[in-house]
Amino acid sequence: MARLDGQVAVVTGATRGLGKGIATGLGEAGAVVYITGRTLTASTDSMGSLEETAAAVDQAGGTAIPVQVDHSDDDQVKALFDRIRTDQNGRLDLLVNNAYAGVSALKAAYGKPFWEADPAEFWDACNAVGLRSHYLASVHAARLMVPQRRGLICTLSSWGGLSYIFGVPYGVGKAACDRLAADMAVELKPHQVTSLSIWPGIVGTELMTQFAAEMGLGNSQPAGAGEDSSAPDHYNWETPLLTGRVIAALASDRNLLRRTGQVQIVAELAREYGAVDAEGNRPASLRSLRFVLPYAVPGLRPYAELVPDLELPWPFLLLGPLGSPKA
């Protein structure tokens, strides 16, 4: 297992879902993890809280520092990093840009063309606390990392940056997250700071599971769109912890800078680093034959482990299965 003892990390949007799993994975590796979100204490109206995530991080072996932050408020974000500067003598090793406020908007607009949705409720919800907040947090993180000439910024994105999934604002935002990570890498590389875009697979978060059930997303959906949560196997789903373990492995990689600016797929990194999911399994990449063939032919799913775990080349995906725009 990767070790991050003494390292200082920030995970934004960590009250539940991917953020909670990532923070827990970093805790397993021994990191000090600042976790942010709007809900500090659990209530009957909340689906997760910072206190619950902090308990999970501490139990995993790390040190959690919960900080209540609304990432739509620039002053609150600045105050977070000012606190880290003071508390940790300017040290920050890892930022995970995960905060996202668009799930409810995606549910409300699902199945409608973009012109029938209110721009303020759809676009802004997807890309304010999401794309813009990732940029702002990265600015403050870079101001700590560049002087120390080390650090890693991971921006959570998805296959929606390559293929239509949930609608126009979602896809544009995810493609922009990929470009954000790539362009930040150009300017950060001379300072030995790495910037990556991270693509999980189909992650069974609380909200994603609920969304899939309510929207009736089944096996006919594009890769990454989710699966029918009533299906007994939840074929090839990942837990949020896998992304956390993979990011911990990245942060401990001494040759990490060679990856800077790239999209990194969680399942492929898990195989490379030997990381496993919560139950000891290792899901296949969404571009692996092991996922694609049984996804297309459900009868093969019980035998998925017999299918070679070989990734389809990006050009093949762009020409057909992902339906990317063509000249």
The residues that bridge with 202 in the sheet, in sequence order, are 237
Concerning whether 235 is annotated as a catalytic residue, the answer is no
The DSSP call for residue 128 is I
For residue 71, which amino acid is it? H
Annotated catalytic residue: which of 34, 100, 164, 170?
Answer: 170
| DSSP-derived pairing of the beta strands 202-203 and 237-238 | parallel
| Measured distance CA(210)–CA(284) in Å, rounded | 23
Token reading at 17: 């879902």
Among 154, 130, 140, 133, CA closest to 245: 154
Cα 139–142–147 angle (5° rounding)? 145
Instruction: Quote the CA–CA distance of 61 and 243 in Å, as a whole number.
Output: 17
DSSP for 78-91 reads: HHHHHHHHHHTTT-
Structure tokens at 173: 């935002």
Cα–Cα distance for residue pair 141/265, rounded to 1 Å = 23
**Active-site residue numbers?**
170
